[in-house]
Structure 1
Amino acid sequence: MRAATPRPWWRRPHVVGPVLAVVAVLLAVSMVRTLTGTEALTGSGVVGATLRLAVPIGLAGLSGLWSERAGVANLGIEGMMIIGTVCGAWAGYAYGVWAGVLAGVVGGVLAGLLHAVVTVTFGVDQVVCGVAVNILAVGVARFLCVVAFNGLPGAGATQSPPVRGTIGTISLPVLAGGWGTPDLLGRLEQTHWFLLSDAGGILRGFLHDVSWFTVVAVALVLGSVLVLWHTAFGLRLRAAGEHPAAADSLGVPVQRMRYWAVLVSGGLAGLAGSYLVTVASNVYREGQTGGRGFIGLAAMIFGNWRPAGTVGGALLFGYADALQLRQSTAVHVLILLAAVLLWMAAIVGLRRRPRLSGVMALLGMTAFAVFQTTDAVPTQLVYATPYLATLLVLVTTAQRLRMPAYVGVPYRRGGA
């Protein structure tokens, strides 16, 4: 019997779909950029800012993915990030920037261990425990600041002294001008040609002046894909979240798998926190996480509990946040919002949801009308753009989401 011939990549829906989506988005953004003259839409500066803003969100989303794939809901990611920031700031000030990164991971792991003991061993409601971790982390961070930073120059109960050293950056040679070589993508971006310069600007944003921390984050995403979907350990871990009783009957140590998952989750959240005090800034400030842990969870849901989708959700939010310049002149972004809304209305309409499609089409036309008749928009609307974009995407993708079957359900051997 002849073995089945593998289908070429252009006949695989899970490959062709994302490729077509990327091409469609690139065409739409290029058209908007050409019509409005808003070069920042696809500029390498905005794309680079997008990447920097997306890293902590993506790591937080990856943190939630590890935990929830094993069946443990982790709403305490925000609190674990807070512990990571203060631990990273302390070690970064005392021993240097990379020590701060490592200390942030350790702090997140300790917070994850607390969550694992309470939820996995004692079976406490996972949502309640996650909320408690967030509340506890705020108080612990203030206490640690008072103990570690009071009396130091430029520091106090809500702020650390500057971290010693910086994490360097890298640019790809030839394409992005690294090591004194030509910057081909930069030259292509400056031509302002339709589609080609847009593609050049976007690629340059991902390849020019990229922090080594970002390189580590990308490696962690690829490593998560490899471990969770291509190893026996990953299969056992995911089985603990899909059907723990069946996995237990086959010899999978469900409780141990859940412990490992929550510890890795805490480490990733702590790493996201350490990014905020070593790359995004060089000091710790109270409230520095700014809800990124919860936004990371939204990115994870948008990505359907998969690493690639989670990264896409993080980049979406990062782009929406980078694009608005905190100025009323960001009115040009309204036409992009109109294009996104009309595109989503078409997608929802094809899925036979006429009411939601009509609402989105109406909102899209309203945004376009405001763009035509207005020279400025309120600053509050500009600040709300990233959150609005995330909400719209979650609404339109809700029908295709499938979480692990036993997320949030405590497991006891011999029980469910």
Structure 2
Amino acid sequence: MAAGIADNPVAGPVHVAPPPKRRRIPGWLNGVLWAVGAIAVLATASYLTGNVDLTSSTTTQTALRLALPILLAALGGLWAERAGVVNIGLEGMMILGTWGAAFGSYYGGVWVGLLVAIVFGAIGGLLHAIATVTFGVNHIVSGVAINLLGLGVAKYLAHLVFQPLSGNPRQSPVVPKFDTYSATGITNWLADLESEQRVIVSDVAGILRGLLTQVAPLTMIAILLVPISYLILWRTRFGLRLRSCGENPTAAESLGVNVYAFKYTAVLISGGLAGMGGASLVLLKDGADYLENQTNGRGYIGLAAMIFGNWRPGGLLGGSALFGYTDGLQLSGRGPAVLALLYAAVLLLVVVVVVQLFRRKWFAAGAAVLAAGLLYAIYFSVDELPRDLTPYAPHFVTLIVLAVASQRLRMPQADGFIYRRGQGS
């Protein structure tokens, strides 16, 4: 019997309408809803705890600057892993980018510095591609080697080039930075709203003011790269072929796709984006000049943001914003602000409990209740988190978020697969 047709012994076959399909929420709308929900939780926590740093313009501005290297590293990881190459070497490529940015900016200006950073990051990507794609080296081993090599090469070049200029082998001389721009009329109005401390209104005003104040061209480019990456990877023939190399390279090869070429291209782009991430640490105002190992693990956090985002541009944007916000909050508000963030996490878990109960997922609801109780006990028992712990807040958030998100992840099927041309024949 055909689907959708039922037999009637008297009247013959009767067509039965299939059940209506549930319409999925578009990805962009889902992201907007998450952003609105996050702002509502932070505004509520700010009101109940009396800590205005949670939604202040200063925190938002700092968070945006700190999220940029994570975002660019995450985009680099996305390009490589969508082609089937695991890129643990993002950290080393970022380190190469920091040195290249300082060197290029010192001798040629900020745009030359950005270009040199991209080139140095791409060189790191090229080495990773040669090892993994051509010689079939394990992707993790090659990535770790790139991290060590990037650190060593940058240290050697800094000693060779920067020590005669700055007198310090671990630091560059002062280099030019990107100019920043503000929407002055709008930000002044938002500043008035923020100062009034009205619930929700002032919180939203503070966040918007932070996003529109002292924005550098590199910041605009980095944010634009998110939709550009989506359009290229999911809306072009080139992107379809590149992603097929990460899902089933043997099938892609049988259809005439040059798998090696696409993998090389993806890893080169990945390295260039990681190099841009390193440049953002050097070329943005309020950031330091080149310092030895100044990436401080942001390449790994970028990889975590990509995984949290389920290997999707919009998702990794949210993950980068989360990690950048946590880092910015501990810098601008210190211990009391991070403690207030724990209270916000408790509120968020309460919402999760309600949602899981509505879905009748009792185990998930129980786990959320236990987590909320633990976080509230910490919040209630201490007046301020120890200063030695607050700098590691982004790393704690990374572990927690990855543990929560691990249940819904779907990586490319051939990610990390050692591919050999003609092996499917």
Same fold by TM-score greater than 0.5 = yes
Report the CA distance shift for 1:11/1:260 in structure 2 as closer, same or farther (over 3 A): closer
- Picking from 155, 169, 175, the partner of 2:180 is 169
Q: CA deviation at 1:138?
A: 1.4
Paired with 1:145 and 1:107, the residues of 2 have a C-alpha distance of 14
1:23-57 alpha-carbon deviations (Å, 9 max, x no partner)? 32222211111111111111111111111010000
* Other-structure match for 1:98: 111
Aligned 8 A contact 1:64 1:77 in 2: yes
Contact 2:195–2:202 at 8 Å: present in 1 too?
yes
Output aligned runs, 1:222-371, within 5 Å: 222-279=227-284, 281-325=287-331, 327-330=334-337, 331-346=339-354, 354-355=362-363, 357-371=365-379
Match of 1:391 in 2: 399
1:173 to partner: Cα distance: 5.0
**Bigger-Rg structure (1/2):** 2
Per the alignment, residue 169 of structure 2 pairs with 157
When the two chains are superposed, the root-mean-square deviation of aligned CA atoms in Å is 2.1
Which residue of 2 is the match for residue 65 of structure 1? Answer: 78
| Count of aligned pairs | 399
Residue 31 of structure 2: which of 18, 21, 28 is its match? 18
CA–CA distance in 2 between the matches of 1:301 and 1:328? 28
**Is the alpha carbon distance of 1:296 and 1:290 closer, same or farther for their aligned partners in structure 2, counting shifts above 3 Å?**
same
Normalising by structure 2, we get a TM-score of: 0.88
Deviations 1:235-280 (A, max 9, x none): 1111111111111111111110001000000100111111111115
Instruction: Please list the CA deviations of residues 132-170 of structure 1 after superposition, one character each: whole Å capped at 9, or x if unmatched.
Output: 111111111111112212222x3432221111x220111
Q: Is 1:112 equivalent to 2:125 in the alignment?
A: yes
Query: Aligned residue for 1:53?
Result: 66
Consecutive unaligned residues in structure 1, runs of 5 or more: 1-9, 177-182
Q: In structure 2, do the counterparts of structure 1 residues 282 and 20 end up closer, same or farther at CA, with 3 Å as the change threshold?
A: closer
Classify the secondary structure of the residue corresponding to 1:150. helix
Q: 1:103 to 1:33 in 2, by over 3 A?
A: same
Take 1:390 and 1:352, find their aligned partners in 2: how far apart are those partners? 28
- Per the alignment, do residues 244 and 15 of structure 1 end up closer, same or farther by CA in structure 2, a change over 3 Å counting? same
Note closer, same or farther for the CA distance 1:379–1:79 as it changes in structure 2 (3 Å cut).
Answer: same
Residues 16 and 329 of structure 1: CA distance in aligned 2, closer, same or farther (over 3 Å)? closer
Stretch of structure 1 that moved more, 348-357 or 103-112? 348-357
Measure the CA separation in 2 of the matches of 1:70 and 1:396.
Answer: 26
Q: Whole-Å Cα distance in 2 between the matches of residues 352 and 381 of structure 1?
A: 37
Q: What TM-score does the superposition give when structure 1 sets the normalisation length? A: 0.90
The whole-number CA distance in structure 1 between the counterparts of 2:29 and 2:228 is 23
CA contact (8 A) 2:46 2:340 kept: no
